[in-house]
Each structure stands twice: as structure tokens, then as C-alpha cells.
Copies of this chain bind each other. A is one copy, B any other.
Amino acid sequence: MAANSRLTIATHVLAWLALAQRRGQEVLTSDQVAASVNTNPVIIRRSLGDLRRAGLVEVRHGAGAGWSLARPPEEITLLEVYDAVGSEPPFGLHRTEPNLECPVGRGIRPALSEAYGRVERAMRRELTETSIADVLRETLVN
């Protein structure tokens, strides 16, 4: 499967908004953001819509419209972005129900759910450790 790039796009958008803000530019339009990400403005608006619903960005309508961060970039973690974009969990259970007459088929789904839950918690814990400000700092040294 093609890896999911939604977290990447959303993080790119937020980092760019953070930098623009630091440079004194209050808002950016989806066209301006799209120019940095090098994709279609609608893709950016979809991503920004996710981020707005999660309370991470604000939008201004009318003339001079555009987007800005709703919170300081130091306080926005990658976990919030991850949840905002609504990615699928990394592992899925069986698509078709296993044979419930087999002892393994009967009990494996709760067993795997627990194991997968531990892995996802470890992943989420690590996503908490990086903020948009961290990403921006790392970005600008490269």
C-alpha cells in the first residue's frame, strides 16, 4: 500500500504557517501553502479543514482571507496532528471473520487487539515528543 502522506502534508502546512507567522505574515491562503507543498490547493484545503476541526488552525473569510495557527507551535504535538488527519491505525484485524470453531480463530482477535493497542500507545507516546516548533527548527537547519 502506498504509505499515507497525510500526516506529512499537515505537518508541512503547520510548519509553514508557523514560519510565516514568525516573519510577520498573519495569514496564508491555500494557494500560497500549496505552492510550498507543491500540490493542488484543494488538497491543502482538505488538510486545513481537518486541522481546523481539531482546533489547530483558524480561518478568516472574505477579502484578505487566509489561515493562521490557532495555538503556539511549541504546544502543537505531532500526536494532535496525527489525530486531526484521522489516519488509519497501522495494523488491521482480519477482514473476514475467522473460523470460530477453531480455538485460534475464536480467541485471536482480542489477543491481537491488546498487542496492537500496546504498540499504538508506544507510537502515540513518541508522537507526543515532537512539536511543530521542533519540526520547524529541524527543518531550517537543513
Complex interface: stretch among A4-12, A52-60, A68-76: A4-12
- Count residues on chain A whose CB falls below 8 Å from chain B CBs: 62
Residues A12 and B103 in contact, CB atoms below 8 Å apart: no
- Across the interface, A112 reaches (CB within 8 A) one of B110, B127, B135, namely B135
- 29 A-B contacts, Cβ less than 8 Å apart? A2-B95, A3-B88, A3-B89, A3-B90, A5-B91, A8-B91, A8-B92, A9-B94, A11-B108, A12-B94, A12-B105, A15-B104, A15-B108, A16-B102, A36-B102, A37-B98, A38-B99, A103-B139, A103-B140, A106-B142, A107-B139, A107-B141, A108-B135, A110-B138, A111-B135, A112-B135, A115-B138, A118-B129, A123-B126
